[in-house]
Chain A
């Protein structure tokens, strides 16, 4: 098969499965449904590997499939660009998706929406593939919105829960705010270059560095800066960067498999991928890069803090995802695009692993998500425990796990960067290392170690919104027995994800960061080339690890782990004491910096108040009341006056005529 056919099959196989299962799922039954979807995604994964191998041997593809719309010179097409960046994303997406598909058989076993769920996740895989394989901005936006749609459908999968349907609307709207910027960015790209094809746009971009666009109050802004910031606003929505991050924690209302697939490993990294794809544009605007750095650093640090105070196991992982996305964004900002993609990849493995592990715990405890009612699970769920340890070590950045390499590379890159804001970013990513290690081991210890706190009618309190017991029938069995290890469909994906969480780091760091892995798909200008500088210090994996172990981040991570160990296993009274000591700070964190409350009051409430005012005063009072019915009343009033004249008495008319004749005569004579 040539590359085009191959790419088409990769993308369309999950779509075909999704459509068949979506339309006929209930009729063909559950096993047929999940096998069909697994077959589709499995085929996609295997073919992606072939594509990846071909790309490694230097083959790339850039071509259109069909013309979506043509208007004069402008041709908007659906087409594929398969280069190292795309191929990497394809393998990561289809691999994690395949794992999640298998896992879902176990996780959603008793859910009435079983076939619907499979249809959705296959549709998601198709959308995500279209996004990463696109060779133009239009299809990118197609995939962009389509993954948003599936995310919306899946967050609201348990549609009878008020919290779920609140969360999915919130997610869609927050993403739409990002898309608002994204569309404007695309518009600016088209206006400036006359094309929306990546290759054409990137070729013309360097000539645009001195172009300006009319800014506020007559100021002229750099066109490329405005364009890149607009595009990045889109990334902020999708990749949940402050202040558009608000939707991601709430998205945990969705079933856990999609939290792993969509809200950790793939969809939320679409923004990171997009900026990396747009590196030829971003490289041309220092201001935009600086903006990216600052936003990323803020996200990385502020969201990590929130991870500490969460008690819902999924929310801890969600905030850690936000924080890690911040790391990736910082890497983009300092022009270490390949480090961002590298971290994206390792993060996809270990974060999917952590989410699926959390899901495994949740099933074993009959949909209990509160860490305060877990503990000691390692005895009952050895495989889940071991894999969770692997995931946590990778997340905390302990060598030789994958996260160590990617995170350390980012920190080093920030250290070497000269972009405005790099100092702040360096502080943020350093402090983040300690907090990350702390909250991830806090979660590990609370869930798997220490005293057993589960069992004994722990259900049904409203302490946290995330653990509603939906209409899925897990609650009607096995409450009495001890937790059991999950079935093989759950544990096998865990093990398969644990492997790359261990090995992906040292396997890929050299080619991806310092070799020619990405080829021409990522462009870095010499003055931003921090990874080149880093390369000069690169003396092989052993040296990198030795250097890492001797430098601050590693010890911060170890300190975080030890602190968590002390606080949650050795002396469990410490967290409470700290909480009391840090009263206002804790309240601030517990309320998530009040961002949600502000948004609800200002944006949601404000829009409704404005709409109500416009509706009442604008439409009903002014337009309908004064203009429309007012003119009707004027007509009515005038005709009521006129009616007096038309009395029907001849002498009235004769009198009027005489008055009229006299008036005319007077005027005629006196003129």
Chain B
């Protein structure tokens, strides 16, 4: 993918994010096609989460532009970007602990953002069926009316992904979905993400290379806020710069 291509659905153009003089993000161009599953890898502090923060509006870019679909969303409020269909799964699973699993899902239903519509409207039968179906899919249906605080770590991850699925978001930012999961749980998570591909555009941040391989697709490697390499996992991991970045500067000097 060359920088001349500008037909991407999600685009970051010359985006920098500077915190107290520290340039956490410095991306000349980053683009993702509609329906693509993009995996972002990179050593700690490479700016992966900051990039998600910029896309979702949690952090305003210092310079540059962010386009999602036909909208330029630079500087929009995070809830406005979310209303556009950008869903986010945090690094540590964040669900609503004091609500039941079902109520968590119900809150994620699309539309109905006004106060008065939320006072009187209830979910339709079709919406309920959709929620129950998704909960069955992630093996949470038996915990449907239990509180989310009683779920295990893996179950919380799935609940959060399911909330994104039910929200009708078309761009999903998924931060380390496999962190702290068992092998069996990781497999189901990968399966879920692959199902979402095509219908949704996904950006998945992950450290677990086995998991990245399972997801396939294009991999972008970030380092010190910059895009270091982009391509298939094999091509990226064969890249000399990427290898140096993962080994650290100390190794570079010694060689």
Specify whether A and B are partners: no
